[in-house]
Chain A
């Protein structure tokens, strides 16, 4: 893809990122992915990972805030995995120019179940570890 063809997409990606960051109420997000949120919480966390734009500089502080506000490790893992694999800003700005829309859409479709799988595995590991420390006690 030619450099000139990429630019309108990159600019659009940057503007979408900037507006969503300003419009999204973060307190609400933390409430939705708390410890008691269950499978729905994982789905919501994955969805917000997809939705929340920005690079690592915005994502990790938000993930850290989720943890302190009571989100569980499974939801946070789901959130980060979703951002790394399905996040649209990175796909638009970086991946699209190199691979073209067909391959990118294809890859993202295959990545959709992965954040949920990662979140479920993480919850399983945490539960197994808790059970083991109970036995040790």
Chain B
């Protein structure tokens, strides 16, 4: 699976590089340079995240996760996970590492999906730092309001289909 994903990704990279090269050498060079610069910039953050995830997994109260967020916790578990996700501040490292750690310590897949969906939709710091300054307030509030049912729909779909 991992190998197939790698092959697919690099095929896409090759395809895009060919299109860029066709449009001109400068575009190809710029694209490759931007991509590599971004990669180098991300490296330390990802490294810290992977190591940090291990610590977060240890720090989470394991004895609470299974009863409150386990596969048997149902709708209440989804609601708790949604609230938790919406209130989690910080970048992707924090959100995803908490989700992954919860999954390892006994949370149900639909509950974790509700958590990461709510986190992705609301991520408090992103809302405050980026969305509020860059978007008209009415659109920010509109988006926040219509997003409320989405983590529940995602969890319901996860329950209706099968477990990952």
Chain A interfacial positions (CB closer than 8 Å to B): 1, 3, 5-6, 8-23, 56-57, 60-61, 63-64, 67, 73, 76-77, 80-81, 84-85, 90, 92-103, 106-107, 109-111, 113-114, 117-118, 121-122, 125-126
Contacts and interface: CB of A to CB of B under 8 A. Distances in A.
Contact of B13 (A10, A15, A96): A15
Contact of B103 (A1, A17, A99, A117): A99
23 contacts: A3-B46, A3-B50, A9-B9, A10-B42, A14-B39, A17-B35, A17-B38, A21-B34, A57-B130, A73-B139, A76-B143, A77-B143, A80-B143, A81-B121, A81-B150, A84-B123, A94-B92, A98-B50, A100-B2, A103-B103, A103-B164, A118-B146, A118-B150
B100 interface: yes
Given A9-B9, A56-B131, A85-B120, A98 B97 contact: yes
A10 B120 CA distance: 19
B120 A84 contact: yes
Interface of B: 1-2, 5-6, 9-10, 12-13, 16-17, 19-20, 23, 27, 30-36, 38-39, 42-43, 46-47, 49-50, 53, 92-93, 96-97, 99-100, 103, 109, 113, 116-117, 120-121, 123, 126, 129-131, 134-136, 138-139, 142-143, 145-147, 149-150, 153-154, 157-158, 161, 164
Given A13-B9, A85-B120, A101-B1, 19 more contacts: A8-B9, A9-B5, A14-B36, A14-B38, A14-B42, A17-B38, A19-B31, A22-B30, A22-B34, A23-B20, A60-B130, A80-B143, A81-B143, A94-B46, A95-B96, A97-B46, A113-B153, A113-B157, A114-B150
B153 A117 contact: yes
Contact of A125 (B30, B33, B113, B142): B142
B25 to A, nearest CB: 13
Contacts of A5: 2
